[in-house]
A and B are shown apart, each in its own frame.
Chain A
Amino acid sequence: MLIKLTGGTVYDPASGIAGQQQDIYIQDGRIIHAPTEAAPDKEYNLNGKVVMSGAIDMHTHIGGGKGNIARTLLPEDHRSDPVARTALCRSGCGHAMPSTFVTGYRYAEMGYTAGFEPALLPINARQAHMEMADIPILDKGGYVMLGSDDYLLRMLTAKKDQQAINDYVAWTINSAQAIGVKVVNPGGINAFKFNQRKLDLDEQNCHYGVTPRDILQVLATAVKQLGVSHPLHVHGCNLGVPGNVQTTLDTIQGIGGLPMHLTHIQFHSYGTEGDFKFSSGAAQIAESINKNKNITIDVGQILFGQTVTASGDSMRQHANHKHASPNKWVTMDIECDAGCGVVPFKYRDQNFVNALQWAIGLETFLLVDDPWRIFLTTDHPNGAPFTSYPHLIRLLMDKSFRNDMLATIHPEAQKMTTLASIDREYSLQEIAIMTRAGAARLIGLKDRGGLAAGNWADITVYTDNPNREHMFEKPDYVFKDGELVVVDGNIVATKWGTTHTVKPDFDPSVEKGLKDYFDRYLTMKMDNFKISDDEITEDGRGSVTVHPTV
C-alpha cells in the first residue's frame, strides 16, 4: 500500500529540514521518494500539521527485574490508575511503573515509537527482553550493565590487557542481546557487597583495589575500540550526594576525550552552598558539557508527585532509603553481576531539596547549547513517569509557563536557582533533535529517527498548539513501520516492534576463561547464560535488528 502524507510542516533534523512543507510517501513500512506515477492508496491531508519522526526515549526503565520489583511493591499505586481492556488493547495498570502493555500504548499515544532500557544486567537480560517482548508497538533495546561484575574486576586486578577486556565486553553485549554498554556507580555496587557505603571516583574497592576511574577508562575504551556507536553510558559515582558536581566534573575530565554519555545528570549536579548546604551545580556542568564535545548527557528531570525510583545502584539506593515515601524499599545483591534498589519517592514542590532538583534539571536543559548532545528524559520512573514528558516539553518551550511554575515552589529554592533569568525557549526543531534525530544518532539506529527516504516509517503528526503540553500529549496520527497505530491520541491498531542490537566481534577463545569461571563460581552454565536470537523471535512476534559497528 502506498500512503501519502500531504502538506505537513516537517521537522526532520536528520535531513536538516526545519519546518518546511513537504509530502512524505510510505510503502512497505518505509519512507520512499515521491513515486513518479503511482497514485496513493491512502492520503492524509496534513496541511497546518506538524510532522516529526516517531520519538525515541533513549533512557527509560521499561524492562527487567527492578521494574517488576517496583510493580510488586506498589499495588496501591496501580489501584489509582486501572486500565480496562478494549476491543484492541489488553488491560493493565498505569501511573509510576505501568504494566508492559500499558507502557507500549501510552508511549505510542504520545508519539513515541522506541524506548531503550538502560540497565540490562547480564544475568537479568533474559527477563528484560521477555518483559520488553510484551510491550506492544515500540521498538526496544538495552544497554548491558558492566563495571561491578566480579569477572571484570578480577580482570582489572590481574592487569589483563585492553584487548582481553574488549573481548569480554563484546562477548557480553552479544550474550545479552544489547545495543550499548552501561556502567552504574562504577564498582560501587560491588563495593557495597563488601560493606563499603560510598565510593568516590578515586577510591579503591577494598577487595580488588580498583577505582571507578579505572573502570570508566577501560570500559569507555572498549566501547570505542569495538566500534559500538553508543558511547559508554555512565551513571556516575555519588548519585544524589550534595557536592557531587565536583565528582561529575572530574569524571568528564578523567575520561580524557573518549566518547561518554552521562545519564540523569541532574542527580549528579549538586553543590553544597547556601543555608541548606545544597545548591545547583547546573551552570558548571553545562559549561563543561559545552566545552567537551566528547560528552553527551540526558537530564533525568524530576517532576513533582509520587513515583518510584528503581536503579542498579544498590549502594546509593540503600543510603537513600530514609527518604522512601511510602516507607518501604527493596535492595538486592545480584549474582556477582550487579545489584538493584527500589525506593518509592514523592517529590514535593514545597520541599527545598526536591524543588531545587526540579530547577537544576531545567537549568541544565536550558544552559547546554547543543541539542544534539542533550536528551529529554526523566529517567522513567525515577524522576517522574514517562507520561509527564508533554508537561516537561512545555516547561522547556514556554518561558512564561516555566516562570509561573517556578513561582509556586519552595521559596528558598527559588532564591537558589537562576532559572528566572534564563530566557531560552526550545524550538520545535530542537525538541525534534533531542527526542528523535539526536537520540537515533546517539544509539546508532541506522534507519530510524529521520524522515528521509529509506527510513522506517515511524512518524508522528501533531496539531500545532501554543500549549505545547496539549500538543505533545495527543498526536493526530502515529505511524509505526508505516502502519497507522494512533489517531487523536488513541490506539487504533497494535503491532510488535523490533529489538535493536549490535554484535561486535570478539575472539572466541574468550570463552575458555569464562567457562571455567562459570563452572567454578556462578550458578548457571555458560552456554545456558547466552541469549539466542530464537528466544526473542520464536513466538512469532519479536525480531532482532542488528546494527553495524562503526
Chain B
Amino acid sequence: MTEITEVPSPFCGIGTDDLCIAVDGLSLKVTANGCAVNTPLFEQPIVDTRARVAGQEVDLDAAISHAAKLLQSAWLPVIGGCATDVNGMRGLLALADRCGAVVDNMNFVGARNNFLSMQANGWMNTTLAEVKNRCDLLLVVGTDVEAFAPRFFERYLWTEAMFLQDPKQRQVIYLGRAPSGDSSTSPNGTKASVLECPLTELPDVMAVLRALVKNQPVRVDSVGGIAVADLQAVAEQLRAAKYSVVTWAAGALAYSQAELTVQTLSAMVKDINMQNTRCSGLPLAGKEGEQTANQVCGWTTGYPARTRFSRGYPEYDPFLNDSRLLLADGEADVLVWVQAFNALSVPPETDIPTIVIGRSGMKFSKEPDVYIPVGTPGIDHAGHAFRMDNVVAIRLKKLRDSGLPSTADVLNAIEQRCRPD
C-alpha cells in the first residue's frame, strides 16, 4: 500500500488539491481532506474492465469497431455527458466533427443561465485565491454552498488571508436560500445572516436589491417576504465592503428564465464597482468536468459545449441543441454517453442505439449497444481539468495502474475508424 499526497480532485469543481489517498492495488481510500463529494467518487470501485457489445463481453477493438459502425450510419448522433478531462474532450470534439454530431454537456441546462447572461452583458468576476485573501463580505444568492462544495468555507473563507486583519470577521449573507449546515458560521461563532424567500421570488428580490444599490426609489415595503429595509441594509453593506463577492450556482437557480437573475446580479456587481469600491461575482460550477467541457469546446469551436457539427461546421444553440429535446423529438438516432467521472451518472433512457464510454461500474436499466469502461482522469491516468473559476487548470495525477483505457484513447480510436477510406 502506498499513500499519495497533494492529490487534486477533478470532481468537486473547487480545485481541492490536498487530498491524501491510500492506494492498495486497485482500491483507493481517502485518508485526509476528503469530503462528501470527493471521497465517494475517489473510492468508487472498479467493477468491470471489459467492453461489452449487446451485453456480451468483447475485446476493446471489437467494441470500438461496433461503435464506429453505429456512428457511420447515423444521421444525427448526439454526444451527451461530456464528463471527462481535457484530452477526453479533445477526442470527443474530433469525433463529433468527424461524424456531424451534437455535443451537449450534461450540466448545460444550469450553465445556460450563466452563458445567456454573460453573452448578453458580460460580468466582473473573481477567482478563489482572491476570495480567500480579499473577500470581506460574501453574498450567496439562491445557493446552498456547502452542499455544493462541502469544503468551500474551510478552504476559502475561514482561513488565513493576506489582506484581512481578522478573517473570522468576514460577513456572510444568504439571500433566497438558507444554508443546510453550519459551515458558513465563522470560527468566532458569528452565524451568517439569512434572508430567505421562495426561490421563484429571487428575480424580484434581486431586482429590488439592485435598485437599492443604485439608489433608485423603491415603493414597496417587502418583496418575496423580505423586508425592503433588510435589503437596504445589504445594499449598504455591499457599498461599505472593500472587496465583496457575490456567489451563486447557476444550476441551483432551477426556475424558468433564471438567466435574468444572473444578469441582474452581474449588473449589480458592475454597479457597485462604479461606486468607488470593489465587488466581484463568483459563479460556482465545475463538477465532473463541466468547465473542462465548455473550455475545450470554447477554444475548439468558439462556442460552449452545446454545439452541433451536423452541417460541417460548429453551430451553437443553447436551446435547440439540448440533447434531451433531440432525444424526445426523435431527431437524434444514436446516443453516445461520455462519463468518465461517475459510475452513477448513466445515460438518459432511450430507444435509439446507445454507446456508453463510462466509468467502470455503471449499472444500466437497459443494456447499451456498446459499453466501454474507461479509466477516471486523476485516478487511472494523468490529465487536466478546469476548476470552477475557469482560469485555473489542474494537473490530474495517475494514482493506480488499472490498465483501463482513457476516454481520449477510446474516442480517438473510434474517430480513426470513422474516417473515410
Residue positions of A touching B, CB distance < 8 A: 65, 67-69, 71-75, 78-79, 82-85, 90-93, 97-101, 121, 123-124, 126-127, 130-131, 134, 150, 192-195, 207, 318, 324, 327-337, 342, 520-525, 527-528, 531-532, 534-535, 538-539
Contacts and interface: CB of A to CB of B under 8 A. Distances in A.
Interface string B76-96: 000000000011001000100
Contacts of A130: 86, 384, 393
B368 to A, nearest CB: 28
B302 A92 contact: yes
Interface of B: 6, 8, 15, 17-18, 86-87, 90, 94, 97-98, 115, 118-130, 132-134, 155-156, 160-163, 242-243, 273, 276-278, 280, 294-295, 298-304, 309, 311-316, 382, 384, 386, 390-395, 408
Given A71-B298, A528-B8, A126 B313 contact: no
A328 B156 contact: no
Nearest to B386: A127
A358 to B, nearest CB: 26
Nearest to B394: A528
Nearest to B124: A331
B299 A193 contact: no
B163 A71 contact: no
A328 B121 contact: yes
Given A71-B302, A126-B392, A334-B391, 18 more contacts: A78-B316, A91-B313, A92-B314, A99-B302, A126-B395, A127-B393, A195-B242, A195-B277, A207-B163, A330-B125, A333-B280, A334-B130, A335-B391, A336-B162, A520-B160, A521-B133, A524-B15, A528-B17
A356 to B, nearest CB: 27
B164 to A, nearest CB: 11
B87 A193 contact: no
A319 to B, nearest CB: 11
Contacts of A68: 295, 298-299, 390
Contact of A91 (B18, B242, B309, B395): B309
Given A73-B119, A525-B17, A333 B126 contact: yes
21 contacts: A71-B302, A72-B118, A72-B294, A73-B118, A78-B302, A92-B302, A92-B313, A127-B295, A131-B299, A134-B300, A192-B278, A195-B276, A207-B163, A329-B122, A332-B127, A333-B125, A333-B280, A334-B391, A335-B391, A523-B156, A524-B17
B339 to A, nearest CB: 22
Contacts of B134: 193
B124 A84 contact: no
Contacts of B392: 123-124, 126, 335, 523-524
Given A100-B300, A127-B295, A523 B155 contact: yes
Contact of B312 (A85, A194, A535): A85
A329 B267 CA distance: 11
Contact of B122 (A82, A328, A335, A525): A328
Given A332-B124, A336-B133, A82 B314 contact: yes
Nearest to B309: A91
Nearest to A76: B119
Given A207-B163, A527-B6, A539-B87, A330 B124 contact: yes
A87 B106 CA distance: 30
A78 B278 contact: no
Contact of B300 (A101, A324, A538): A101
Contacts of B295: 68, 127
B350 to A, nearest CB: 27
Given A75-B316, A99-B301, A127-B295, A523 B6 contact: no
A367 B87 CA distance: 48
Contacts of B127: 332-335
Q: Which of A74, A150, A528 has the most CB of B within 10 A?
A: A528
A65 B18 CA distance: 24
Contact of B97 (A90, A520, A524): A90
